Amino acid sequence: MYYGNSNEQDQNNQREAGENQMSIGKDVRSDKKQGISGRDILLEGDIVKAIIGEAQAYYYYDSLAEMAPNEEDKKVIKGIQEDESKHYHWFNMILHRMGGEVPQITMGELPKDFEEGVEKAIHDELEANEFYLDIAYRATDPYIEMHFMYAAPDEQRHATLLQNILLNMR
């Protein structure tokens, strides 16, 4: 999942780096660019944006799972959350290879209502799918391309799983 813009609530919900289960905020700065081409270095800002989005999605799904009306929906949401954590770590590895620093992570906006939260998550998952495909297509480094090409269909699958939850509610 991807969240593009921060807002006032993001600022109020900031978490320190060591307070979460994903080890968000570790300094993985490298003195070497490890073979990343100049063109791929231009992707660094988008990769940082993807890292922030994945971390915020992790928190979002944690909150959404707590609101789930049944164990089946909760299990699906926790599975999506695991994928978001995996993507977060992949993208951090890429940033590390680029010599970048892990960005400061804010919790982002959390859902207040289960159904509305699922609807927003569907939108965000579809947006992330497009964003990741765009990064993969612009990448020249196979490592970057591969990880974003693997993450993109995960995001599409997440949207489908969430759409099924929404359909079963109605």
Percent of the chain with pLDDT over 70: 78
- Cβ contact 111:60 at 8 Å: yes
Task: Identify residue 164 by its one-letter amino acid code.
Answer: N
Q: For residue 72, is pLDDT > 80? A: yes
> Which residue is associated with the tokens 């660094």?
44
Whether residue 138 is contained in a domain is answered as yes
Q: Band of the pLDDT at 38, cuts 50, 70, 90?
A: confident
Whether residue 123 is contained in a domain is answered as yes
- CATH number of residue 72's parent domain: 1.20.1260.10
Lowest average pLDDT, out of 78-87, 95-104, 149-158, goes to 95-104
Whether residue 108 is contained in a domain is answered as yes
pLDDT for the residue numbered 24: 41
Q: Band of the pLDDT at 82, cuts 50, 70, 90?
A: very high
Whether residue 8 is contained in a domain is answered as no
Task: Identify residue 32 by its one-letter amino acid code.
Answer: K
Lowest average pLDDT, out of 24-38, 49-63, 112-126, 130-144, goes to 24-38
pLDDT for the residue numbered 4: 45
- Mean pLDDT (whole number) for 32-47: 76
Concatenated DSSP letters of the chain: -------HHHHHTB--GGGSTT-TT-----SS-TT--HHHHTTHHHHHHHHHHHHHHHHHHHHHHHH-SSHHHHHHHHHHHHHHHHHHHHHHHHHHHHTPPPPP-B-----SSHHHHHHHHHHHHHHHHHHHHHHHHH--SHHHHHHHHHHHHHHHHHHHHHHHHHHHH-
How is residue 154 written in tokens?
Answer: 């995960």
- Mean pLDDT (whole number) for 1-23: 40
- Kindly list the distances between the CA atom of residue 40 and the CA atoms of 103, 131, 136, 138, in Å, as whole numbers in the listed order: 18, 15, 10, 8
In the chain, the number of structural domains is: 1
Whether residue 160 is contained in a domain is answered as yes
Q: Domain limits at 102? A: 49-169
Output the pTM of the full model: 0.80
- Mean pLDDT (whole number) for 149-166: 98
Whether residue 15 is contained in a domain is answered as no
- Mean pLDDT (whole number) for 1-16: 40
- Cβ contact 64:77 at 8 Å: yes
Whether residue 158 is contained in a domain is answered as yes
Whether residue 11 is contained in a domain is answered as no
